[in-house]
Structures are given as C-alpha cells and as structure tokens.
Structure 1
Amino acid sequence: MNGERLGPYQLLSRLGAGGFGEVHLALDSEGRTVAVKVLHPHVAADGGALARLAREVETMRRVGGPHVAEVLDASLEGARPYLVTRYVQGRPLSAVPVPVADLRSLATGLADALLAVHEAGVVHRDLKPANVMMTEGDPVVIDFGIASALDSLSVTASGAVVGTPGYLAPEVLEGGVVGPEADVFSFGATLAYAATGRHPYGQGPPSAVAYRAVHHEPDLEGVPGWLEPLLRECLATDPAARPTAARICARLGVDATPPARRLSRFSMGTARREESDVHHLSTREWQPGRGPKAESAELSRARHRERVRRRWLIGSGLFMSLLAAAAQEPLPEVALFLLAAFTLAVVADAGVALATRGPFRKSRIIADFTGVAGTLGISLALSAFFSTPVLALFAGTALVVGIVFVLSA
C-alpha cells in the first residue's frame, strides 16, 4: 500500500496497526505530513464499525489545541474508508525513559490537553502513557478511538469495559456513569507513572490491577512534593472529590483561556464544523490554503537533498584536508593531487548547479566554493601545526568513523 494514493493523500510508510486499521505516514496535496488511518477490509464492511468511526470523527473534530492530535479529514466512502489526523512525530510516554526529566512540562502539557478535551464537551476515556506522544519534550494526546462525547455515553458494547486497568477510573471499572472526572483520574495515573516509573496500581492480571484501583491507595512514592497533593486528589475514588481540568490548570499555572482561542495551525479548519451523518463524512473542512502556505513535496525533497549534500561536502572536505596535510611532507605531489581532485569535483558540482537552475542553486554554488577554500585553508593549517604521524593517525581514525557512519546510515 505504501507509495499508493488514497484520495488526495500519498501513503509513504506504515506507522502501526490496531484493531480497526493501519496507520500510515502520508503527504497531503500540499506536501504536508499527516497520519492516515485506513480501516481493515473486514472492518470496513461492518456497518457498526463505520458508525464507531463516525463517532470517533465527530468526537475528535470538537477538540483542538497544540497538545492534542486533531482530526483533519475523513472519508467513509469507497472500498477503503480512512481517517486523517495531525502527524505527531515522537515516542509514546510508555516507551521513553522514566521517571521523566522535565515532569513539569509534561504535567502542564497534559493539563492543557485535558482542558481542551473537556471544553469541547468530550471525554477521552483512554488516557494512558501509550496514548501520550512525546515530541521534542512536549506531550500530545492521541487516539480518541474510544472517546465518547458527553451527550453520547451509551455507545459502548453492553457490559464492556474498554481501556487499560490501572488508568481507568473506579466508576468506569464498576460500570457507573462516565464523565470528565474519569479523565482526571487517568491524568493522575499517567503523571504518577511518569514521575515514578511505576504503574500507580502495580502490575499483574487486569482483574487484580482493577481491584487495587477501586479499593487501594495509589503508589505515589517518589512523586515530587509540588505534584503529589494534586495527584492524590486526581486519584480519589469518589469522582466528586477530583478537581476539574480548569482547576488542575490553575494549580499548575497553565493558561486557562478557552482552547478554541488557542488552536494550533493544524486545527484552524476544524473549528468550523458541520453536522453530518455517517454517509457524508467525505469532508474537506480542513483547508490548509487558508493558513500559512506549506512548501510542496518536491521542494521539501529538494531541501532535504541539499542538506545531505552539504553534510557530505563538509565531511569529505575535512577528510581530504587531513589526507593532504598528512602527505604534505613525505609526498607533496600526492597532497597536491588530492587537493586538486577535490577542487575539480566540487567545481564540477557547482557547474551542475548552475546548469540545472534548481531552487537552491545560488546557495549550492556558494557552499561549493566555500568548501574548496575551507579545505585548502584547513590543510595548510594542519600541516603547519601537526606532525605527519599525528595527521596520519587522525586520517585513519576519520576513515574508520566515516565507514561506520555510512554502514549504519
């Protein structure tokens, strides 16, 4: 499926799979990276699965903000229904080293996400470390697959408890009414894991973990003093005793401005939502053209190629400087030959850039001539300050490191 097109999206690589479908990294029509969830064929043929996907779309489209992965587009028509969300590059909290170093940043980011979810009238219902992506130190909440809007809480299967024991609130485990207080409990359990590196209700069979979540106190040993009182309130057995998302934000010093005013640039189009049934979800409401214009896929690839070319220019120039400096005293002709060959190769590259008239032609030519001048200057400096054996040792080490780098890349 990779390399194919699905609607306006070009699928690039498979990111993972779940019970409902596969998630692919893709490019939209303007070269922007997105995540496309494609339903499994046997699920796509199930009307009930389509209804669940419709609920997921309608739920996620109410939520926006920098710490949640918004839905950008969806189509339930055709042989391969799909859902498009903002692509979040990073690793889940469940896969990063814990305890987390910057715990305050994680806490404030999760609180902001919780406020965005609840202000939109949504309950996530499955907040846990695996559903928190860490990207450049900031958390982003993903996977609203079993989230349920406050006005639609009876969609789950009869008697079923969906989620992960230890992060599910006691009222969820006991089949009670599920509201935003359940997300507050999950928020507390997720932060407790991040702060201690341990699941707050231990490990073992799901039934044993669920029993401890209902009847035992959480394990908060090692939680910093500034955070422990808040987590104890969030993990209270009684939902009424837990703080609201707005109160949590106030305790942590998070801006409590309604999240609708703080939408990220990816969610600008989702703020205007129309009611639609399951057969009319082939929407184009996310309109990137209204926001900052993204560069095309071809320009992105050209920029990447230019970065790689410059790295090779710098690396080969340094290596050639070492070789020429090492050969300067015993074999000056060899040193001259090496520098001349490198100069001719780089000048030829500059000539190619001049002839092709690519988007980075001028910067490429400047980089080439700067590389030649730098290589000659470094070679002369090295031969003046270091002996031939030392330079030969440097060159050999650089060669070994370069080979290892190329093989690993």
Structure 2
Amino acid sequence: MSEHLGPYELLSRLGAGGFGEVHLALDAEGRTVAVKVLHPHVAADVAAVSRLAREVETMRRVGGPHVAEVLDASLAGARPYLVTRYVQGRPLSAVPVPVEDLGRLASGLADALLAMHEAGVVHRDLKPANVMMTEGEPVVIDFGIASALDSLSVTASGAVVGTPGYLAPEVLEGGAAGMAADVFSFGATLAYAATGRQPYGQGPASAVAYRVVHHEPDLDGAPEWLAPLLRDCLATDPALRPTAAQIRARLDGAPVPKARRAARRKVATVAPPPREHDDLATREWRPGQERRRESVEESRARHREKIRRWWLVGSALFVSLLAAAAREPLPEVSLFLLSAFALVVVVDAGVALFSRSPFRRGRMIMDLLGVAGAVGLCLALSTFFSTFTLALFAGTALVVGIVFLVSA
C-alpha cells in the first residue's frame, strides 16, 4: 500500500542526501513530482527549517528548462518536505565523461546559474551529482536547499553543506558562500565534464580541500574554447571570477565546437528516434509543457472508457441473444453463445493487429491463430444456423468490429 504525505502519494524512493530522502510521487491531479522529505535531525532544527521556509518563496521564483522548479512545500508539520519538478535522467556524475556535446552542457548550466542568481538564490552545492542529464540537456536540482539549511546545528548533526573539490576556497576557509562561490562550483563541475577527472584530484576530503585553496586546478584536456573560462571561474580570489551574466555572454561569443555544429545539423534534419517505453518515462511531467505521455489519471479514464464500450457491446449481444432464443430457444442459444465468443476473439485480435503499438512476434502469432480458430468455428457452426440467426450474427459482427477498430 502506498504512503501519503499531505496531498502527495509516494510511489518509490529515488535516493537520499545530506538533508533528506527524495521520493517519486503523484500530486492530487495524478502528475509526477519529486518530494524531498527532510531527515529527522534536520527537521528538529527549528531555526534551520524556519530559514528554509522563508527562502521557499524566493526559490519558487526560479524557473526555466534547466532547473527543477520548486512547486510546493510544507515545513510546519512533523515531516517537513519540499516538492519539485520530477526530472527523469541520470546525474552528470553517472554518465560517461568527457561529455560529448560539451557546448550544450555548458550553455544549459550557464542558463541555470543565471536563473538562480537573477532570482537571488545561491545554490551552494552545485556539483555533478546535482546536475541531471535528460535527453542531453542538464537540469540543476536541489538549488537553495544547502544555502537555506546552512546552520551550525544542522552541520554538527551530520549533514554536509557542500562537497570538497566543488566548494569555493573562501567557503573552505570559513567565509560566506555567495554567488561567486556558485561560479567556482560551476567551473569545477564543467571541468569534470570536459576532462573526465576531478579538477582537484581525489583522496581524503582534507587533502582535496588543501589543493582547492593552494593548488591550481587540473584542466589538461579541456578544449581551447572553454579552458580560459574555466580558469577564470576557478580563480582563488572570488573578485576575479566572472558573474553568471558574464559567463552566459562569453559562451554566446565562444566559437561553437565542430561536434556541436554537427549535432545541431543532425537535430535540424533528422527526427529524433522514438524512446523506448518505460514506467518512469510514462509518468514524467514538466510544468508549463504538454506531456508527451499520458498521466495516471488519463490512463484510468481510458480504462473506464474501455469498460463502458465493453458494456455496450455486451448489451448488444444480449439483445441479439434474446432475439435468437425467442425463435428456437434450445439449439439457437448454444450456437449463438459460441458465435459470440468467436466474434470477441476476432475483434480483440483485429484491434491488436491494427493498433499503432509495436509488434511482438509471439503476440502476433497468437492473434493469427485466434483469428483462424474463430473463423473455423464460425464456418463449422454455420451449417446449423438458421438464416435469421446468421443475419443477426453478421450484423452484430459488423457493428462491433467498426466500433472497436475506430476507437482503438
């Protein structure tokens, strides 16, 4: 049995982080969302949760295709939670690197950074794990949460505010995390995507933090058009880093890589291949866009309509059966029941064969065998039917077949 939290039905656990667990859920209208439930030790910090509640309205002003918008929040109850757009995909930390279309990734991340900073929101924990890749586009998640929950009691209870290697040096040295710190995290995330390596290496958190403060980042392998921007974003002095608007402008003026030009030509001339059906893709929903796949509520409505059509068909067969039984009750009733069964088999197979669903060899063979068997049964029984019953059966078959094939 599924669990409910407020108006949301929790379907499955997607993951967990320093501040809470993320669940795939349905809202009251049957649309998919991501519900982040705060951990008990975080929810117990009244000051931190109050600060998050004050920041929620600001966070809800951040929008765009490259951010997972905050849709709702309930922070006063025993289980505080945030609701965001559900993004289907894999985090940047789990996809092959270096990223093939680096220009597309850089532009999307720059758009997300600009949207957050224009709304006055500081992410404070931008890193590959918080960048979801969906159909080749980056979407930033969890923005504003780390910044709003930055308090001594939360940090002391086990939540990590930031990730070594992506935290700016001024933050590691105890300074405030402002928009310049997000620019540093942006540079480190993009450097990882460009080179396939952590820009400050791996190892214990203390060793990585030391290299962030005292060493230059490892940018070997970064393309020439991007390396100067990465160096500026990863400057130790926050005053020397560009703003989000300047990053966006520099990327617009940068030469487009050959791979990216080829990708653009391909998109312009070749239709993208259809995606394979899967449950998560079926339930995906993006606010402000028309859903490409039906929601759970639409699926239920479709099944209710199918049941209604079957009821109408059953009623028509029942009336025909009564008409046949009124003439010669005993043999006609038995034969008409068999013919009605044959009709159902033929219609069901016809709908399956002529529907737009992908063919499956096993199902197609079964449908063809069902049609052959049903037709053979009808031919065998036709020698016993009266003209009146044959006319009833043929008329009913014609009406039912048209209804089902048109509505399939």
Considering the TM-score relative to the shorter chain, is it more than 0.5? yes
Equivalenced residues, count = 303
Q: How many angstroms apart in 2 are the aligned matches of 1:304 and 1:70?
A: 32
Contact in 2 for aligned 1:21/1:39 (Cα 8 Å):
yes
Contact in 2 for aligned 1:320/1:342 (Cα 8 Å):
no
Once the two structures are superposed, residues 343-375 of structure 1 have per-residue CA deviations (whole angstroms, 9 ceiling, x without a partner) of 899xxxxx99x98xxxxx96x62597xxxxxxx
Counterpart in 2 of 1:365?
405
In terms of Rg, which structure is larger?
Answer: 2
1:27–1:341 CA distance, 2 compared to 1 (3 A): farther
Counterpart in 2 of 1:78?
77
Q: How many angstroms apart in 1 are the aligned matches of 2:370 and 2:201?
A: 64
Where does 1:231-242 land on structure 2 (aligned, <5 Å)?
231-242=230-241
Contact in 1 for aligned 2:121/2:144 (Cα 8 Å):
no
Q: Kindly indicate whether residue 319 of structure 2 is the aligned counterpart of residue 320 of structure 1.
A: no
Counterpart in 2 of 1:264?
none
Where does 1:140-289 land on structure 2 (aligned, <5 Å)?
140-144=139-143, 146-148=145-147, 155-157=150-152, 162-253=161-252
Structure with the bigger RCO (C-alpha within 8 Å, sep 6+) is 1
1:5–1:178 CA distance, 2 compared to 1 (3 A): closer
Once the two structures are superposed, residues 302-361 of structure 1 have per-residue CA deviations (whole angstroms, 9 ceiling, x without a partner) of 67999xx7587721478529x98xxxxxxxxxxxx576148899xxxxx99x98xxxxx9
Cα displacement (A) at 1:7:
2.1
Counterpart in 1 of 2:372?
340
Q: How many angstroms apart in 2 are the aligned matches of 1:304 and 1:22?
A: 33
The DSSP-based 3-state class of the residue aligned with 2:83 is strand
Q: How many angstroms apart in 1 are the aligned matches of 2:251 and 2:98?
A: 19
The DSSP-based 3-state class of the residue aligned with 2:28 is coil
Cα displacement (A) at 1:75:
1.2
Counterpart in 2 of 1:299?
298
Q: How many angstroms apart in 1 are the aligned matches of 2:69 and 2:104?
A: 21
Identity of aligned residues (%): 74
Q: How many angstroms apart in 1 are the aligned matches of 2:42 and 2:73?
A: 16
Counterpart residue type for residue 78 of structure 2 = A
Once the two structures are superposed, residues 69-112 of structure 1 have per-residue CA deviations (whole angstroms, 9 ceiling, x without a partner) of 11101112333322111111111100111111111110000000
Q: How many angstroms apart in 2 are the aligned matches of 1:291 and 1:97?
A: 30
**TM-score, length basis structure 2:** 0.64
Counterpart in 2 of 1:3?
2
Once the two structures are superposed, residues 129-165 of structure 1 have per-residue CA deviations (whole angstroms, 9 ceiling, x without a partner) of 011011111101111254437xxxx953289882111
Counterpart residue type for residue 157 of structure 1 = L
**TM-score, length basis structure 1:** 0.64
1:299–1:211 CA distance, 2 compared to 1 (3 A): same
The DSSP-based 3-state class of the residue aligned with 1:192 is helix
Q: What residue ranges of structure 1 are gaps of 5+ in the alignment?
A: 255-287, 325-336, 346-350, 356-360, 369-409
Contact in 2 for aligned 1:25/1:33 (Cα 8 Å):
yes
Counterpart in 2 of 1:96?
95
Counterpart residue type for residue 360 of structure 2 = G
